[in-house]
Amino acid sequence: MANIVLGVGASHSTLMNTHWEQTTHKAEAQRFRDGLYAARDRIAAARPDVVILLGSNHFRGFWLDLIPPFTLGVGECIASGESGTPEGPQQVDIAMARHLADSLVEGGRFDPAFSARLQIDHGQSHAIQYLLAGLDVPIVPLVVNVFAPPLPTFERCAEFAVALREAVAAYPADSRVAVIASGGLSHRLPWPDWRDPHGDDEDFMVRAWLDGRENWADYDVRRRQIIRAAEAAISPEFDNRVLELFSLGRAAELGGYGTADLEDAAGNGAQELRTWLMMAAMLDYIPGERLAYEVVPEWLTGMGVTVLDPARQPVAR
């Protein structure tokens, strides 16, 4: 059977690629990047045969014409390549992906969407770029809806992850599996609730999310300007508490957050922590190790990295 050998949670920001030279908090930015590289070395040392990659989608592969809560990539996977992230086809473990989809449906608790030609964006490709650099390992991409309400609850995400863990364990091949969660920590994007936009910028964003599937480039310049004009809304107290929960093996407590409560505490971008919770659930909430945390206002985000490693757990007497 397959065995989960490592879990990683890591923040992402395309501004790390496009605005490195303009970043004034350079020391903090470099320490975060070093944390990513340290996590990459831990992944390499774990020797995974496949990486289950949990991430969000920022309205480049999914649009308001269809937003499933959970979508498994079970065939081709195309990275959009925005802002210097990887572009084009990505290597997918199709046998593992289809086994997971079949097992989840046949288990009777979940009916995830699936895609035989999944488009991902930096919500997952940022992790490929930095955490899988130089590693010849296929992925199984899982996109979680965190930006188009109504969102799957944190509790539901945790339940889905447990079912996913069981499906991994039932895989007939002797495969080593790493799980990467991309997203978070606290940050606020200048994105509206699509159901109730206010003002020209929010109306523009919703129109882009509705119509952008065929002509995204027509919206990209102004969209980027709106994002770059946003002020950072980072909550170090919240972020450090989240990282502490992971270090203590108490990440399950994130399941108690409601969508509105989390946005009030840490911004709409913190909704991406659903992927971190799912990663922890797949590792059975073992205690983790904090590799980095930095406040980088130019990137609008509290940037963190944590690792959950079954091989480094205390041996029970």
At residue 8, the 3 state secondary structure works out as: strand
Say whether 25 is catalytic.
Answer: no
Contact 59, 134 (CB under 8 A): no
Distance CA 237, CA 71 (A): 32
Active site residue 58: no
Going by C-alpha positions, the residue among 154, 183, 57 that lies closest to residue 115 is 57
Catalytic residue among 99, 122, 126, 198: 122
Asked if residue 150 has a cis previous peptide bond (ω within 30° of 0), the answer is yes
What whole-number distance in Å separates Cα of residue 39 and Cα of residue 8?
7
Instruction: Tell which residue, 183, 134, 147, 142, has the closest CA to residue 305.
Output: 183
Would you say 125 and 17 are in contact if contact means Cβ atoms under 8 Å apart?
A: no
Report the half-sphere exposure of 95 (CA within 13 A, side-chain side).
9
Tell me which H or E stretch contains 181.
strand 176-182
Euclidean distance between CA atoms 188 and 19, whole angstroms? 18
β-pair type (139-144, 50-55): parallel
Catalytic residues: 122, 187
